[in-house]
Structure 1
Amino acid sequence: MARKSVPVASTDIIVLGGGIVGVAIATYLAETGRKVLVLDRSGICEETSSGNAAAFAFADILPLAQKSMLKQVPRWLLDPLGPLAIPPAYFPKLLPWLIRFLMAGRPAQFEAAVSAQAQLMKLAEVEWQSLLLRSGLTHMLREDGALELYETEQEFKAAEKIGEIRRRFQVPLRHLTREQIEELQPGLSDRFRYGTFLPGWKTVADPRLLGQNLWTYAERCGATFIPANIVEVRDTGQGVVAQANDGRYFQAGKLVVAAGAWSHRFTKMFGDPVPLETERGYNTTLPKDAFDIRRQLIFPAHGFVITPLETGVRVGGAVELGGLKRPPNYARSRAMLAKAADFLPGLKTEGGRQWMGYRPSLPDSLPVIDRALRSPNVFYAFGHGHLGLTQAAATGRLVRELVLEQQQSLDTYPYRASRFRR
């Protein structure tokens, strides 16, 4: 039986969502002395933010709707366990999103998205460096770069077109010989004859631990957390109210919606429909001694990465556009693990932990960072796709500036919620 409605003491700002984006936002706001309350049904970085690939992927400036990716879609869709999958029963529901996704690949939209993503990445790199220093977490950062690997000359030449765009935005990279590949990652299968090294790519010791340690710093700054499954939010004109499924309600002057793949359910309550979909990502985390991985390994043609963590070796990635309700298909995790064992002869595949998470994805691969159109006390910060960890600090900075009406570090027009309105 549900409990009677019980009011909870008011606070300055509610952040709806305890993932890495919500934690970063709460941290930036709490540092200014505001009373910040984070609400999440599970805990701090316990869901999607706990199992990502642990990358600060500042070089990943291209939207998913790029020519080299779109050309591979038909082949990928023929493989139900390949890099991209759409369950047939979900296809009709997904179709409007797919049409927007294809439109985002047109030249004008593509160039605008790349420029906006590059700006956000530059800010993200600066802000993460500063935030890690302020929070005393620089020891969790690994600056080993990343290695992109290709089997054929055709794959490599297609990737070089991406490299040209990266160079245009001053993203450092260098192409490698087979001998240089072996030097950077001994034990790799000799099927990979081509490679690109991204020296500015960084990883963290463990994404869940990073988020929870950052939250400890946010608490020292005065932020608080209450577990709550929020089902309704509304703007009263004088502030906002968030209602939980057990009858509790929480009051604040302002609200930030940073609820990841569930965020669009709340934006609708404020009259802002947003075409948010879910990139369901899978991985397996193996014991630390599974293989001597020197840095993150990226296999673009296969849609997955291998990351050395403080807590193990993580093999994961791929995209399954399947919504929030379908049960996990862990055959996808097993398929990636089998490929990893082929690519790294000697990889120990026993004792792994399987995982599936919900990446919040928008058709143009850009997040929404904005104020609600008709509710000046409500702000949005979601839709980062597979770049939530990478862009969390930049988002925290931009949301703080929006909420406190400070001068913006960069123009947030490209990230407006209304960009999808006809």
Structure 2
Amino acid sequence: MLHSPPDHNQPRQPHVIVVGGGMVGISTAIWSQREGNRVTLIDKGGPEDRASYGNAGVLASASVLPVTMPGLIGKIPKMVLSSTEPIFVRWSYMLRLFPWTMRYLSHANAPETRRIAAALAPIIGNSLEDHLALAKDTGAEKHISPCDFAFLYKDKAAFGGDALAWDIRRELGFEWSEHEGAARQSYDPIFTDKLGFLAALSGHGRISDPGAYVEELRAHFKESGGALLNGEVTDILQQDGRATGVMTRVGPVPADRVAITAGAWSPIVTKTLGVNIPVEAESGYHLEFWDPSFLPRMPTLVPTKKLIFSPMKGRLRVAGAVEFGGLKNEGQDKVFDLLRASMTEVLPGLTYSKETRWFGHRPAPTDSVPVIDELGSLKGLFLGFGHQHVGLTGSARTGQILAQLMSGKRPNIDLAPYRASRFYGSKGNSRPHSHTKRQRESV
């Protein structure tokens, strides 16, 4: 059989490596494929190791408010010292956490809250449509459902106590309905009558099984020609000021572009390049109650407890709580005890067949805004991490932006709020090093 000679005029298909296999990573990988790139996705963990697996499953477009709301500083002593508050700190980690905490708390004022919300809105504010576009023709679409996102308060006065947050949401175009007393009971009667006021934000979505959603997307990526590599990245290969691939524990993997989307582990990479991006590992928890006797109509947040009660396939997931203890933190039973006690209080009478638990790490930058950027000191190295509580929500849009940047396109969004250089200015100079050098830490 005669074969046509190779057409040397055809452009070579660029090779993109995406480091980190959670939602931001798989979104970046799929959108990069759609840009015409050959893509390798490298991930060192299993499905349950990812924050994408353990989130509340809400496409929470209106979750533009940071934890650092005005008044937070005065609440910290009670939050840290009380076992019934949703913030926990490992005392052995306090000294190491202190510099990050000071920068984090500097944003706990109204002007910064508005700035942060305005920066988050373009990334998460259209999340239902963003995920439908990502999941189109992948098999993962079946996990996405439009829904409201409810906030449940003791009464109208308690809702009024969050006036700044709701004013900002209104200014950014979000709409909601309000239900009080009997109307609240009618809207969703399963919650305790001690919580008598509900605000329901329209235009949101939910994922019925976040773990299965990610795995469906990964299967589509592989079926579309993507390469999956289970391994640890120990270094970034570079030559003449450009990233040329990654070093893994089994050897080098060359590439034309590299994207770091490894969540809370991502700063390990930038530190090896001489760039310190202040992202802390914020640990999160969830409990799942299987075969529940009833489920909420929609994902529902109880702001006083910082917990979301989320209906999922075959179970109720109660997700939330915040713990600071670093990447080596392995969780503690008292946080799960708090989630269980809160479920009993908020959903009296719920019965279930079994309980399962999850613990993982989320990437928390000091200013609560993700990094989405090409590293200025090393061309071809792109960063996408730091989404804190909204990683699932913002992953589809973030992956699309990174894929466009890596293809030399200009996304239709002002990228200034997401620049890595906001943390280090002109000091972020990567140091060149041998492609055979290995770092002690890896992602």
The normalised TM-score by structure 2 is 0.88
Residue from 403, 412, 430 that aligns with 1:400: 403
Residue from 346, 351, 361 that aligns with 1:348: 351
CA deviation vs aligned residue, 1:91-129 (integer Å, no higher than 9, x gap): 111111111112222444332211111122235444223
Query: SS in structure 2 opposite 1:64?
Result: coil
Unmatched 5+ stretches in structure 1: 1-9
- In structure 2, relative to structure 1, the CA distance for the partners of 1:173 and 1:71 (3 Å cut) is farther
Across the aligned residues of Structure 1 and Structure 2, the Cα RMSD in angstroms comes to 2.0
Residue 130 (structure 1) shift: 1.7
**Which residue of structure 1 lines up, in the alignment, with residue 226 of structure 2?**
223
AA aligned opposite 2:172 = F
Are positions 1:121 and 2:109 aligned together? no
Residues 363-372 or 79-88, more deviating: 79-88
Residue from 179, 183, 204 that aligns with 2:182: 179
Residue 224 (structure 1) shift: 1.4
**Which residue of structure 2 lines up, in the alignment, with residue 253 of structure 1?**
256
Size of the aligned set, in residue pairs, is 412
**Which residue of structure 2 lines up, in the alignment, with residue 266 of structure 1?**
269
CA distance in 2, matches of 1:399, 1:227: 22
**Which residue of structure 1 lines up, in the alignment, with residue 23 of structure 2?**
20
- In structure 2, relative to structure 1, the CA distance for the partners of 1:178 and 1:152 (3 Å cut) is closer
- In structure 2, relative to structure 1, the CA distance for the partners of 1:81 and 1:418 (3 Å cut) is farther
**Which residue of structure 2 lines up, in the alignment, with residue 287 of structure 1?**
290
**Which residue of structure 2 lines up, in the alignment, with residue 6 of structure 1?**
none
- For 1:95-134, what aligned pairs fall within 5 Å after superposition? 95-134=98-137
**Which residue of structure 1 lines up, in the alignment, with residue 430 of structure 2?**
none
CA deviation vs aligned residue, 1:217-249 (integer Å, no higher than 9, x gap): 22233211010022222323464232223x332
Are positions 1:200 and 2:208 aligned together? no
**Which residue of structure 1 lines up, in the alignment, with residue 306 of structure 2?**
303
Contact residue 229 and residue 244 of structure 1 kept, 8 A = yes
Are positions 1:240 and 2:250 aligned together? no
Unmatched 5+ stretches in structure 2: 1-12, 426-443
Residues 124-133 or 210-219, more deviating: 124-133
CA distance in 2, matches of 1:33, 1:397: 13
AA aligned opposite 1:32 = E
- In structure 2, relative to structure 1, the CA distance for the partners of 1:297 and 1:109 (3 Å cut) is closer
AA aligned opposite 1:83 = P
Residue 160 (structure 1) shift: 2.8
- For 1:326-345, what aligned pairs fall within 5 Å after superposition? 326-345=329-348
AA aligned opposite 1:331 = K
CA distance in 1, matches of 2:140, 2:357: 27
Query: SS in structure 2 opposite 1:180?
Result: helix
**Which residue of structure 2 lines up, in the alignment, with residue 4 of structure 1?**
none
Residue from 365, 368, 371 that aligns with 1:365: 368
Q: For the pair shown, which has the larger CA radius of gyration, 1 or 2?
A: 2
Query: SS in structure 2 opposite 1:67?
Result: coil
Residue 136 (structure 1) shift: 4.5
CA distance in 2, matches of 1:134, 1:272: 39
CA deviation vs aligned residue, 1:28-71 (integer Å, no higher than 9, x gap): 00112211001111245752211111010001111221115455
Residues 145-154 or 35-44, more deviating: 145-154
Residue from 13, 34, 46 that aligns with 1:31: 34
CA distance in 2, matches of 1:338, 1:285: 13
AA aligned opposite 2:21 = G
**Which residue of structure 2 lines up, in the alignment, with residue 312 of structure 1?**
315
**Which residue of structure 2 lines up, in the alignment, with residue 42 of structure 1?**
45
The normalised TM-score by structure 1 is 0.92
Residue 264 (structure 1) shift: 0.2
CA distance in 2, matches of 1:34, 1:167: 40
AA aligned opposite 1:58 = S
Are positions 1:189 and 2:192 aligned together? yes
Contact residue 31 and residue 221 of structure 1 kept, 8 A = no
Residue 152 (structure 1) shift: 4.6
AA aligned opposite 2:374 = R
- In structure 2, relative to structure 1, the CA distance for the partners of 1:71 and 1:296 (3 Å cut) is farther
Query: SS in structure 1 opposite 2:42?
Result: strand
Contact residue 272 and residue 418 of structure 1 kept, 8 A = no
Residue 177 (structure 1) shift: 1.1
CA distance in 2, matches of 1:183, 1:132: 34
Query: SS in structure 2 opposite 1:200?
Result: strand
Contact residue 33 and residue 221 of structure 1 kept, 8 A = no
Contact residue 341 and residue 349 of structure 1 kept, 8 A = no
- In structure 2, relative to structure 1, the CA distance for the partners of 1:167 and 1:36 (3 Å cut) is same
Query: SS in structure 1 opposite 2:331?
Result: coil
CA deviation vs aligned residue, 1:184-207 (integer Å, no higher than 9, x gap): 322211110222111223211111
CA distance in 2, matches of 1:157, 1:115: 22
CA distance in 2, matches of 1:382, 1:356: 19
Contact residue 234 and residue 247 of structure 2 kept, 8 A = yes
Residue 349 (structure 1) shift: 5.5
CA distance in 2, matches of 1:193, 1:320: 29
